Structure 1
């Protein structure tokens, strides 16, 4: 995982320019050669910019390449007026981390724009061909890179795992193609074998083997020009009349380890954050709970991990939502199972892909009920009296449970709440203090 740059050389005819890296970028007829860059990036003060786009802009160099293919790609991007505003909104979650990782590896900052081209910075994106995540990694490529993929967890969607895998792959391609980043990028999109075969055809015809000279399928033919065109727009948005909303140049998340496969809805309550944010930061968790049988890493909004750990230490571990596997017995119904585990039928359906109420004996269900030891779908069987409570601004299930010394699971059961929904000020709850 990393970010930085190689100041890339641009070739025109037989000329080359000395650069920080030995990488070369070929040109095609009609291409404007890059200048030596001596005056393009004047020295600035050491104070880091507040806007991440400004940081990226200061490190771009490929935008000097200009030819008809790049111009067409640039016009296509400029025709999408909401493209970069939408990307900036998603960038608030992921882009700083990607830039940091590229910087650490001393790779070109243009690579930070690949997820923008591939997925518009949407880690949940999937293609018809099976590619997935920010970097649109294919399943077999993910396996080759050691990215975990199963029914619980898909590292291609996870921010940290996918970024590490994609950057490893790009570095390998860069080495394989003699430090030529454009060929490496073409191979990232079309496959290494496709680019090698195209080079072989050109060699047999005594033609150049640089990127611009290769005959590739349409998608790969347009891929590199699109990335260069995007770098041109990011490098000089004013020139193209584009407004790019700022993105903070600071961390958006930090890593916590709860030590158990915690349900994301309950983790959000412990961190006192909106559960949608937790899902956005942990898209690799496919079932709404930290996957069992692996690391219990959890990404939390920056600055919230201490609060999360503190609330986690105070919580009764027996009341914390964990995953369970249950084999359906003859005569079982979803309602009976939900009641036994202190969860609800809607959650059982969602986490097991069940439509309707039909289950079969022998079927294994994943259960993330809030109280695996003792479910409760109605009032307690003690003499505890019902007490009404009006939700106030800032309340969470966790805070209310602590205040009345009851479990989160019981509040949910008593009021038939959806664990993924957040409480609203003015909402009425029924509690049974002393009855849990």
Structure 2
């Protein structure tokens, strides 16, 4: 595409596809439509120990390594995992019936090559798909609403394995790996304490807006649309130019990375199209994990929204990894990701509240009922509305009496200073996840040159004081 504070930790299943051709992405032109070079995906195939350079060959070993998602509602329930062998229906069947250009019937030599390689790791593939299924459901629904092929639900797998990778400077980030200028131009801004590229809902909105633009530019040629998403619109247009202004039937001179990007997309579609052919079992979709987004143009305290949703504030933040502060960013078109089961409750809870004081909600400790009534009267809230918001009771109540000024949150919190090793982790994967070097982990934790790490072991992610 033209395009970490704390990375989220604690997922039981920590296996994910790493489909990209190299680890880093070159910087691009500030013009959101013009890329300096095609952008490799955010993750790369896992080497034995040390990370490969960003110039890794596109034919590198594919992919299934430990890039976790989140310890939140995205994690499969125990019941879902136990029943994973039952025949999948609903989402997968619907997706399969709607595929337009990634069916196995559309295979060629390149895509078949990647299909076989990914199918060589069936257990990891299945575990990964189960992890990211709620996000795939959400993206598929957004694609349908935009009248785009659901085949593009595989694009964030190729880009990032649906992991919201952070980046520095003018480099791509998020599940769609959007470049900063592109993200701003298509509705995923970057603000103090907020990065729209990292938010699942906001970045998906921006990516779909971009895909809609590209479909017009390339007349619904989905191969060219995908290539332009990776390499840039004008790069692909230039690759189609023949002599004397003629148009070539196929783009010429594009990077092998861009060519393989499209092959990987089609290979994933084939695995979903005919899973039995590759001895794959697709997981049953647990509807309790479904996600939805709510438009919130005003700034609201995250803890207050979590209170209305009746979920833990940290869970809400994990569903919205672009939020770094205490409040939502507050701009027209901002989308908050929430559990689908709670979406209507949130909308109903916010409907009677005055938007003029949206950012001012705070928890207040009250000494006695008389003080409570005085503050409620001063806040301008009706008593019935106050009691409805605070129906859970307790000595601390929610009132719109704060300053409304979002408080900055440090991007390196104490919780991010250590990491507990999970099954399947390697030093290389942990270092990559937290943007560190393997040698730093070795030095900070007093590990020997050939030391092995084991599940349950704690590692420092910072140099000792």
CA drift of 1:256 comes to: 5.1
Query: What's the RMSD between the two structures over aligned residues?
Result: 4.2
Number of matched pairs: 290
Equivalent in the alignment of 1:125: 165
**Residues 212-241 of structure 1, C-alpha deviations (whole Å, 9 max, x = no match):** xx3321310210011111111010111011
List alignment gaps of at least 5 residues for structure 2.
Answer: 1-87, 368-387, 400-413, 416-465
The SS at the match of 2:337 is: strand
Q: How does 1:228-243 map to 2 (within 5 A)?
A: 228-243=266-281
Residue 257 of structure 2 corresponds to residue 219 of structure 1: yes
CA 207–274 in structure 1, closer or farther in 2 if over 3 Å, else same: same
Residue 44 of structure 2 corresponds to residue 54 of structure 1: no
Q: 2 CA distance for matches of 1:313 and 1:118?
A: 37
Q: How does 1:60-99 map to 2 (within 5 A)?
A: 60-62=99-101, 63=103, 64-81=105-122, 82-92=124-134, 94-99=135-140
Q: How does 1:37-436 map to 2 (within 5 A)?
A: 50-62=89-101, 63=103, 64-81=105-122, 82-92=124-134, 94-122=135-163, 124-126=164-166, 130-200=171-241, 203=243, 208-211=248-251, 214-248=252-286, 252-255=290-293, 261-292=299-330, 298-305=336-343, 307-308=345-346, 370=363, 402-407=392-397
Contact 1:253 1:302 in 2 (8 A): yes
Q: 2 CA distance for matches of 1:102 and 1:289?
A: 28
Q: 2 CA distance for matches of 1:271 and 1:146?
A: 25
CA drift of 1:110 comes to: 0.8
Q: 2 CA distance for matches of 1:313 and 1:199?
A: 51
Output the TM-score relative to the length of structure 2.
0.52
Contact 2:306 2:312 in 1 (8 A): yes
The SS at the match of 2:191 is: coil
Q: 1 CA distance for matches of 2:324 and 2:140?
A: 26
Q: 1 CA distance for matches of 2:237 and 2:97?
A: 33
Contact 2:389 2:398 in 1 (8 A): no
Q: 1 CA distance for matches of 2:159 and 2:243?
A: 30
Q: 2 CA distance for matches of 1:295 and 1:198?
A: 35
Q: 1 CA distance for matches of 2:98 and 2:277?
A: 18
Equivalent in the alignment of 1:22: none
CA 106–306 in structure 1, closer or farther in 2 if over 3 Å, else same: closer
CA 207–74 in structure 1, closer or farther in 2 if over 3 Å, else same: farther
Contact 1:261 1:296 in 2 (8 A): no
Q: 2 CA distance for matches of 1:404 and 1:70?
A: 59
Q: 2 CA distance for matches of 1:242 and 1:296?
A: 38
Contact 1:52 1:249 in 2 (8 A): no
The SS at the match of 2:338 is: strand
- The structure with higher relative contact order (CA 8 Å, sep 6+) is 2
Q: 2 CA distance for matches of 1:168 and 1:248?
A: 28
Contact 1:51 1:249 in 2 (8 A): no
